[in-house]
Amino acid sequence: MREIQEFTLDELKHLFTPQAITGETMVLNMGPQHPSTHGVLRLILELDGEIVLNCVPDIGYLHTGIEKNMEAKTYQKAEVLTDRMDYMYTMGNNLVYCLAVEKLTELKSPARADAIRVILLELSRLQSHLLWIGTSALDLGAMSVFLYAMREREMILDIFELVSGQRMMTTYIRPGGLWRDVPAEFNDAVKQIVDIFPKRIDTYEALLTKNPLFMDRTKGIGKIDTKTALAWDVTGPTLRATGMAHDIRKANPYCGYEQYDFEIPTQTTGDIYGRYKVRVEEMRQSVRIVEQALNKLPFGPVRDNNPKFVPPPRSEIGVSMEALIHHFKLWTEGFTPPVGSVYSTIESPRGEMGLFLESDGSPKPYRVHYRTPSVPLLQIMPILSKGCFVADLIGIIGSIDIVLGDTDR
Amino acid sequence: MNELLTPAVFAIQSRYNGQVSEFRDEVTLLVPAEKIIAATTTLRDEFDFDMLSAETAVDYCPQTTPRFHMVYIFYSTKTHQYITFRAPLNGDNPSIATMETVYPNANWREREIWDLMGIRFEGHSDLRRLLLPPNWEGHPLRKDYPLGYEEVQYTFNFDDIDLRKPKGVR
Amino acid sequence: MGLEQKLGNTGVVTTTLENAVNWSRTNSMWPMLFGLACCAIEMMAAQAANYDMSRFGMELMRASPRQSDLMIVAGRVSQKMAPVLRNLYDQMPDPKWVIAMGDCAACGGVYNNYAVLQGVDEIVPVDIYVAGCPPRPEGLINGVVALHNKIKSERFAKWK
Ligand code: SF4
């Protein structure tokens, strides 16, 4: 086993004020095991009393080598690894990968598959925001929101389990469509969520929005403006809370998002409270999208029928020789897309998630790079936390909603 | 090619002799490595590409000229267009000028590339490893770095491998 | 709880010291609040309202290793995290137990590469392995109950 590698102050002195070296200010380590760093994040803080002067994030405690590992797997197998990256938005990770592969191989997912994808993606967004509202409120001392939010989250996970058999790591969205069609109970289960959710969101709001303690700890803290946010490539709710209505779902629509009627919530304050308001409103919009998609769910196939890239349906394998051969070839050799590189993006609950995929014409991806939204969010921690109290730092980490699996990959 | 992109592509092509290629409606410009900063500054200031969406590198080992391609993907929040720049780099220990001066968020992205790919960035303010421990040897995303592989234990070699495996003790 | 029926008038219960000690150990076990990756989310789900681990006396998560008896390694352990994890384990007071939750903690899971430790048992001794990627909350609860049973059958002679 390796030894713990410690930084010396000398190595980091360009990141701190000169007083840190002389000992006038204190350098304090926080994490990687700390209850409110939302995973294994480590922050090295320079403190003047209670005030944070500098904050140096140290990440990589969850570095998993997913990008390298995907290069060693065929396209179908590599998808399994994508689930485990941003583990709060697993469907989205699958989707961005599938969009890239579809672009590369010119597959087209049918209308029904697109609609089901939208429903599941918005449900994923809801569950991610639910966990966020629970944990970030927990960080600020509000316990009951967590219990309520987790209760509702279970309902969504039940739907994931219904369609894919797994609660979190679904791998349900596949290149060219979906793994299989949704079962008959799907519509009723989603309908139930659409019916009860607006009221449940009211409950969370009743607990937090006008709560003076919550407002005291969030208003005016962790501020950022649009210009800085854009320069540092910050996207998602953090950008929208600064007043800029930028959302990939509207700007570069995918999966037929242009057919649905929804708004991009914005706030102008750019602080923790603004981010909270944006996310709560986003939850309402997600419910709206799910409702619309469910109401006009088209019928038809859920997979492209190009047998060179998409496995044939199970029922055909028994009766058609050709289907059997295709199935065998796909699962032993994999498929070979043309040479070239593509970039696909989606809007994850944290911001723009992109995938750069390069193919060299072999059945394995040549290079995979995930552009994840949490990296820029963590990168601006020094800007957000400058001059705040240590206690507020916890609120800031919670408010940008980082997922460490997403930063470290 | 989307007509919103044409002026930018034309400018980069003529001023910095970039080579244009198109694949699946995505425009890629191959720009010489020494002109990359000038080209991106033009792109940002004149054509409103205000975000550096992704920055990464590709290793073409065993080929050596070029061995690496730096890949920059820019996004414009005004026109909602993506454009890709590629800069070829030769040799096993390549270096390129840092993008930090143009887009500050390149800071961590370049640290990550240095960490995993081993490309040096001239003028970078804080070039330390980002993801791996500071004393790590090698750059794992290079093609000549092994993936790392645990031996599989079957019945016949179970005990052999078991002896060699590290064990946690109290 | 059934105990009062055995008390009789004297208010005395006889049992072996082993039983009494093991009983108290199982019923006041404090896990460390320590999540690594995806599995930590399921660990949180196990503590929330639907699954409610406090039914087994496990709800009091301690943020400090010095106050906890049980380390639930929930997630993949990277090479950078491994020494930190061992350090945390060393700081826990005896008696201490480890549950490896999820395939990653048990054997490296789907990652067979340079960055991930191939099973947390390479650095700390593991008492219970919980399979699944991620294990369902019921799976974790089952693992905890299995650990309780294991502790209940511990003998003085084997104590370390
Ligand atoms: S076992 Fe699966 S769910 Fe758990 S940490 Fe590993 S990849 Fe994530």
- Does C53 have pLDDT greater than 80? yes
For residue A158, the enclosing domain spans 66-304+336-371
Q: For residue A83, which atom of ligand 1 is closest to its CA?
A: 7
CB B144 within 8 A of CB B61: yes
Identify whether A32 is part of a domain.
Answer: no
Cα C76 from chain centroid?
16
pLDDT tens per residue across span A236-290: 888 888 888 888 888 888 888 888 888 888 888 888 888 888 999 999 999 989 9
| B26-30 and B51-59 beta bridge pairing | unpaired
pLDDT at B50 (0 to 100) = 86
Identify whether A405 is part of a domain.
Answer: no
| Residue-range domain boundaries for chain B | 6-143
| Contacts with C34 from chain A: Cβ below 8 Å | 33
Q: Could you tell me the pTM of the whole model? A: 0.90
pLDDT tens per residue across span B85-138: 888 888 888 888 888 888 888 888 888 899 888 888 888 888 888 888 888 888
- Does C1 have pLDDT greater than 60? no
Among C133, C136, C140, which residue has the most ligand 1 atoms within 8 Å of its CB, making it the best to mutate? C133
Residues 6 or more apart whose CB falls under 8 angstroms from that of C152 comprise C22, C23, C26
pLDDT tens per residue across span B20-40: 888 888 888 888 888 888 888
Identify whether A379 is part of a domain.
Answer: no
What string of DSSP letters covers B56-92? EEEE-TT--TT-EEEEEEEE-TTT--EEEEEEEE-SS
The amino acid present at B3, given as its one-letter code, is E
pLDDT tens per residue across span A32-48: 777 666 778 888 888 88
Determine the average pLDDT of the residues in A299-311. Answer: 83
- Does A355 have pLDDT greater than 80? yes
Identify whether A124 is part of a domain.
Answer: yes
Measured in angstroms, the CA of B136 and the nearest CA of chain C are apart by: 10
Q: Residue A1: enclosing H or E segment and its boundaries? A: none
Q: For residue C110, which atom of ligand 1 is closest to its CA?
A: 7
A103-112, A305-314, B76-85: the lowest-pLDDT one = A305-314
Check CB contact under 8 Å for B170 and C160: yes
- Contacts by A129-133, CB closer than 8 A, 24 or more apart: A129/A279, A129/A280, A129/A282, A129/A283, A129/A286, A129/A349, A130/A156, A130/A283, A131/A88, A131/C41, A131/C44, A132/A88, A132/A279, A132/A349, A132/A398, A132/A401, A133/A204, A133/A208, A133/A276, A133/A279, A133/A280
Closest C-alpha to ligand 1, atom 8: C38
Identify whether A41 is part of a domain.
Answer: no
The helix/strand/coil state of B4 is coil
Q: Which two tokens stand for residue A384?
A: 């957000």
Please list every protein residue whose CB sits less than 6 Å from any atom of ligand 1: A 84; C 37-39, 75-76, 102-104, 109, 133-134
Residue C2 burial (10 A CB sphere; 0-12, 13-18, 19+):
exposed
- Does C148 have pLDDT greater than 70? yes
* C86 CA to centre of ligand 1 in angstroms: 20
Measured in angstroms, the CA of B150 and the nearest CA of chain C are apart by: 7
Closest C-alpha to ligand 1, atom 5: C75
Measuring CA to CA, how many Å separate A216 from each of A210, A271, A350, B16? 10, 12, 24, 53
Q: For residue C111, which atom of ligand 1 is closest to its CA?
A: 7
CB C49 within 8 A of CB C75: no
The model's confidence at residue C2, banded by pLDDT at 50, 70 and 90, is low
Q: Which residues pair with A389 in a beta bridge?
A: A51
CB B43 within 8 A of CB B72: no
Total number of domains in chain A: 1
User: Among positive and negative, which fits the CA dihedral A104, A94, A265, A242?
Assistant: negative
Residue with token string 């199970």: A314
Q: Domain spanning B6-143: which superfamily?
A: NADH:ubiquinone oxidoreductase Nqo5 subunit (3.30.460.80)
The helix/strand/coil state of B30 is strand
Q: Dihedrals φ, ψ of A402, to 5°? A: -85, 150
| C97-101 and C70-74 beta bridge pairing | parallel
In angstroms, the CA B19 to CA A6 distance is 46
In angstroms, the CA B108 to CA C157 distance is 55
CATH number, domain containing residue A365: 1.10.645.10
The model's confidence at residue B146, banded by pLDDT at 50, 70 and 90, is confident
* C40 CA to centre of ligand 1 in angstroms: 9
Query: Which residue on chain C is closest to A165 by alpha carbon?
Result: C136
pLDDT tens per residue across span A151-172: 888 889 999 998 988 888 888 8
Conformation bin of residue B123: beta by default, left when phi > 0, alpha when psi is -120 to 50: left
Closest C-alpha to ligand 1, atom 7: A84
Q: Which two tokens stand for residue A86?
A: 């941003």
Report yes or no: A69 at the B interface, CB cutoff 8 Å.
yes
The one-character DSSP state at C94 is S
In angstroms, the CA A246 to CA A343 distance is 19
The model's confidence at residue C115, banded by pLDDT at 50, 70 and 90, is confident
Check CB contact under 8 Å for B170 and C112: no
Check CB contact under 8 Å for A408 and B103: no
What's the helix, strand, coil split of chain A in %, to 5? 50, 10, 40
- Does A149 have pLDDT greater than 70? yes
Identify whether A92 is part of a domain.
Answer: yes
Identify whether A141 is part of a domain.
Answer: yes
Identify whether A104 is part of a domain.
Answer: yes
